[in-house]
Structure 1
């Protein structure tokens, strides 16, 4: 169930979030203090690496280019570092947190550090991968420090489930950022690149160093900005099935790689030629529009 606003449970004492940023943002001291009081031990399973650098948070909010009337969906707010930066820039922030302890604490942290903005926050305790709806007005923006282990599936799920999201800025593992924003024909181009391009124009928006997180991750991070666009003509599920098949064996030409998808190598060649695609090409040469056109060709039936 969603929790709205800052009240703490009856008889409970709010945790101290000693101020160490003039605009209310959480710094290293406050992050560690909160974690200690919550008896929180960040886990790799939940991808818990918490931002604690105020300048990085301000940079993320600037890069998101939010409008004053935006309803922002934030996935994995954790201890609230990014949440506190987003609240002044948007009409509402809906923070989706899977950890019940963190979900319960977040409204209290916001009420203590930015009380005038506490009514802009809604906290939902849920698994983002199973999210089907959000309380209140539909989200118009997504801004999140996504857990590394599920960043691509979560991003694609949210873009599909919430078509009102017109813009997104996500912080992900640097290698994932490169894949999401890769252009056709590049080494990093693959399934994430094509599927993200179905929903949006995607570009890199800068790198983020390891020291701004606690605990410090063993990989670098990168920002990716997505701007919603009209998808290409065609069926999304059929197109994604062709994409998955094409990249399942990257070293094979499309005639061989799509044999199982089409029914046989000959059937794959027929459909590729019908779509105006050279059967000897590999999947990394095809744009999302190429894949959509291929998926729309008529299946070849053995007679």
Structure 2
């Protein structure tokens, strides 16, 4: 049987659950647990995601992990052009055929077969240019690194609406003082405002996952908090502060500063009490410590990890 699928009976180009299973069967594909593949099989859920992402007609959108094309077709139906990154070779080969089989002009879609964490340049769409939004059902096992890497490498991405594991959304959207506030929360806050954008039923996936899913919306700041060097320094401070959550800052950052006494002096010079803990600090506080550390010659070596 062919891997292509035509327009549904309603005239919509979106994929039904039956379409998705037929596409996978025809191509000899099955969801990979190792790669965190769970495909959305409900067109209404796809429309909700596209609507909450604020997708505009004529906009270029980046999608990571398009899979069999459920969300891709939703974005295209809304009038956006799509640049997609897909790691799975079988899915990458199938997707263009699925889209053209549903009447999509080839100029409205670009596919990169690669690991999203290794991509350093995004394809431009002939009519819409470079992507300004990330809208994706991210592989849950690498969702946070992918989100933070995209934000770091591609400043043209103005907003992100991604579906990930529900508890990851809670962490990404958390504010200082929350019990789930941690390094991902603070690092995401460097880039912009985050908000919980709704929960997604397990029943809309194939296969049905054993975790709950949700949406997080991140809107990038109009102006960056600091330079790229300051971001790297700040992320190292964040990593140190959350390496052992229950430690006071002067102890948690002793390795970064070259001793707890020196760490205490640097933190105090940033206007922050050294006895506070990392989970009470906003991103601006971490930046202040990083700047004070730079003046004192602390924490300059190495590179900050993406998550």
TM-score by length of 1: 0.91
1:139 aligns with 2:134: no
In the alignment, which of 6, 23, 43 is matched to residue 32 of structure 2? 43
Runs ≥4 residues deviating over 2 A: 16-22, 88-91, 116-119, 298-301
Counterpart in 2 of 1:148?
A: 140
Alpha-carbon distance in 2 for matches of 1:90, 1:188: 37
Gaps of 5+ in 2: 299-307
How many equivalent residue pairs? 288
Distance 1:134 1:90 in 2: 20
Judge conservation of contact 2:2–2:27 (CA < 8 Å) in 1: no
Counterpart position of 1:9: none
Deviation at 1:63, TM superposition (A): 0.3
Q: Per-residue deviation at 1:16?
A: 4.1
1:247 aligns to what? Answer: 242
Please show how residues 30-109 of structure 1 align to structure 2 within 5 Å: 30-109=19-98
Secondary structure at the counterpart of residue 296 of structure 1: helix
The answer to whether structure 1 residue 217 and structure 2 residue 214 are counterparts is no
- Deviation, structure 1 residue 37: 1.5
Q: C-alpha separation between the residues in 1 aligned to 2:42 and 2:5?
A: 15
Question: Which of residues 282, 285, 289 is equivalent to 2:280?
Answer: 285
Residues 18 and 117 (structure 1), Cα distance of their counterparts in 2 relative to 1, 3 Å cut: closer
Q: Distance in 1 between matches of 2:218 and 2:15?
A: 27
Distance across 2 between alignment mates of 1:159 and 1:21: 39
Q: 2:226 aligns with which of 222, 230, 233?
A: 233
Native 8 Å contact 2:13 2:77 kept in 1: no
Contact 1:267 1:300 in 2 (8 A): no
Query: What is the rounded CA distance, in whole Å, between the counterparts of 1:179 and 1:200 in structure 2?
Result: 15
Instruction: Quote the offset at 1:200 in angstroms.
Output: 1.4
Q: Hey, what's the Cα distance between the residues in 2 that align with 1:187 and 1:140?
A: 33
TM superposition shift of 1:18: 6.0
Gap change, CA 1:116 and 1:233, over 3 Å in 2: closer
In the TM superposition, what is the alpha-carbon distance from 1:261 to its structure 2 partner?
0.9
Retained in 2: the 8 A contact 1:201–1:228?
yes
Change (3 A) 1:116 1:245: closer
Contact 1:20 1:29 in 2 (8 A): no
Contiguous gaps of at least 5 residues in structure 1: 1-12
2:89–2:113 CA contact under 8 A, matched in 1: yes
Per-residue deviation at 1:69? 2.9
Work out the CA distance in 2 between the residues paired with 1:277 and 1:217.
43
In structure 2, the CA distance between the partners of 1:208 and 1:250, relative to structure 1 (3 Å rule), is: same
Q: Normalising by the residue count of structure 2, what TM-score does the alignment of the two structures yield?
A: 0.90
Following the alignment from structure 1 to structure 2, what is the Cα–Cα distance between the partners of residues 198 and 131?
A: 21
Residue deviations 1:179-234, cap 9 Å, x none?
Answer: 00001111110011011111111111000011111111100001000111023235
- For the aligned residues, what is the CA RMSD? 1.6
Structure 2 equivalent of residue 196 of structure 1? 188
Task: Return the alpha-carbon distance in structure 1 between the equivalents of residues 132 and 182 of structure 2.
Answer: 27
Whole-Å separation in 1 of the counterparts to 2:160 and 2:195:
11
2:15 aligned with 1:15? no
